[in-house]
Structure 1
Amino acid sequence: PLVWAVHRWIEGRNPVEGDLAEPELVARDLAEFAVAIRKIDLPGGPPAHRGEPLMAEDQEMRAAIEALRRTDEPFDADEITAAWDEALAAPLWTGPACWTHSDLMPSNLLLAGDHVSAIIDFGTVGMGEPATDLIPAWNLLPAPVRRVYREAADVDDATWARSRGWALSMAVIQLPYYRTTNPIISANARHVIREILETST
């Protein structure tokens, strides 16, 4: 009684944060995808799952920070709040809405050898702003490679700052929810929070 489909099998493996043999190759592949999808000239599409301004996440984000504060996770809630406020202060996207995947988590990527072989799970695709497709900078790529990704994706300072906020909000909201039920997502959420709190924009 539900909607379903049969898809062809795509060979590949999910990447793991901190375990990329050639992270620069992955960074360039992901940037190529991010640029290609935002250049698609197909107006009138549906809004992306994360198609609103970052401020739309504020209420849920602050509730998640408080939930995280009540756990035994080793993160400073005040530092997270400060990083979140910094992201919210970035100028808003003023360009036209563009196509985005908006959920480039490691579990939605496949690698073959040292290259990205596929992007999967297009359930969140739609029109929004390009910052949402830069989250692999924080959830997958090591800090020394982020500049490669940013330069290849060709984005300005404000878009980069908002991408940091999107990655942080996804991680902080996911962690209290998945911390005891999904070890892969919760481990990645912890990784993102650590990376953002330990590095500057």
Structure 2
Amino acid sequence: MANHPPAEIFVDESLVRRLLQEQHPHLADRPLRPVANGWDNYIFRLGTDYAVRLPRRLSAAALTANEQVWLPALTADLTVATSAPLYAGSPSEAFPWPWNVTRWFPGTAVSLQPRDRNVALAAPLAGFLNAFHRPAPPDFPRNPVRGVPLASRNDAVRGRLDSGMVPHAARIRELWEASLELPVWPGPALWIHGDLHPANLVGAADGTLQAVIDFGDLTAGDPATDLAAAWLVFDRTGRNEFRKSLGTQYDADPHVWGRAQGWAVCMASSLLANSDDHPGMYLLGSETLMEILTEGLDWP
């Protein structure tokens, strides 16, 4: 069964060129070509320095709007580059939703390299999170599936575990139930990326982190959501280095890593149950599940 949602609007080079001519004419003459047709967005490369991202679905349009409103200020002082909008596109007669022009990063998607190489990402990714996980204002963009108490994801996770699509479901269920018993995040709602997996990380030529991309799930809440990257991105060696590099920022909550593993279960089960038409994402779910099973309840 294919789970990639169909596009609600068809976008090609001619439409993108028209939008650029109308709203950002100084960019409109650069070479343009499609490079990805993802879950939420069309992505075109514009010249050598830019990417154009346009929502494929109405539900993704709201995510694009959130990026336009919040990301420029949130990422201005970060030491790690991001896909924050450089030029914002507005709804128009040609295209009814917001769209963005961002930087193009020439590095390699971390999802395409072996996990044992990701240890070099541990320190810069930890630095990104320590800087990004700041208290959010009361009007932060709500997200029903990220940053929320794990119990709110229980029905979805149990449904996946009952579907037959998740290997070792009985043991994974035990680990999931253990995470549900932990206290919720006791601190203020912190800004979170919300979807911090290897396909949203770009590696530099020297093996370190070039950029963090795709903030469509941007919200605030429990930072354990992003700390699930310990299992999504790293093997045990890298995970230990990642935790060490984070320092003491989360030490006030002794349960943060237990919930982070719960979030890793939530995300891995989603990848396994919903990526049968995307082998790379299915493999990510499978590898993450093995990391979770290997570690069990051995939280720091």
Give the TM-score, by structure 2 length: 0.61
1:197 aligns with 2:293: yes
Alignment equivalent of 1:104, drawn from 196, 201, 205: 196
Q: Is the 8 A contact 2:157 2:266 kept in 1?
A: yes
Q: Judging by fraction of residues, say which structure has more strand.
A: 2
Structure 1, unpaired ranges of 5+: none
1:82 aligns with 2:174: yes
**How far is the alpha carbon of 1:111 from its aligned partner?**
0.6
Q: Judging by fraction of residues, say which structure has more helix.
A: 1
Q: Give RMSD over aligned pairs.
A: 1.9
Structure 2, unpaired ranges of 5+: 1-94
Greater RCO structure (CA 8 Å; 6+ sep):
1
Q: Is the 8 A contact 2:200 2:212 kept in 1?
A: yes
Alignment equivalent of 1:33, drawn from 123, 128, 134: 128
Amino acid at match of 2:201: L
1:61 aligns with 2:157: yes
Give the Cα separation in 2 of the matches to 1:82 and 1:9: 42
Q: Which residue of 2 aligns with 1:13?
A: 108
Q: Which moved more, 1:128-137 or 1:147-156?
A: 147-156
Q: Which moved more, 1:58-67 or 1:132-141?
A: 132-141
Q: Which residue of 1 aligns with 2:258?
A: 161
Instruction: Report Cα offsets for 1:38-90 as digits up to 9, x if no partner.
Output: 13x552322345021111110000000011x2x5x6x2211010010111122
Give the Cα separation in 2 of the matches to 1:26 and 1:33: 11
CA distance 1:139–1:18, shift in 2 (3 Å):
farther
Amino acid at match of 2:260: S
Instruction: Report Cα offsets for 1:145-194 as digits up to 9, x if no partner.
Output: 21221132233431111111101111112212212x00011000001111
1:174 aligns with 2:271: yes
Q: Is the 8 A contact 2:272 2:282 kept in 1?
A: yes
Q: Which residue of 2 aligns with 1:127?
A: 220
Percent identity for Structure 1 against Structure 2: 32
Query: Aligned pairs, how many?
Result: 195
1:92 aligns with 2:184: yes
CA distance 1:42–1:140, shift in 2 (3 Å):
closer
Give the Cα separation in 2 of the matches to 1:21 and 1:186: 19
1:107 aligns to what SS in structure 2? helix
Give the Cα separation in 2 of the matches to 1:191 and 1:128: 26
CA distance 1:17–1:89, shift in 2 (3 Å):
farther
Q: Is the 8 A contact 2:185 2:222 kept in 1?
A: yes
Give the Cα separation in 2 of the matches to 1:17 and 1:194: 18
Q: Which residue of 1 aligns with 2:65?
A: none
2:103 aligns to what SS in structure 1? coil
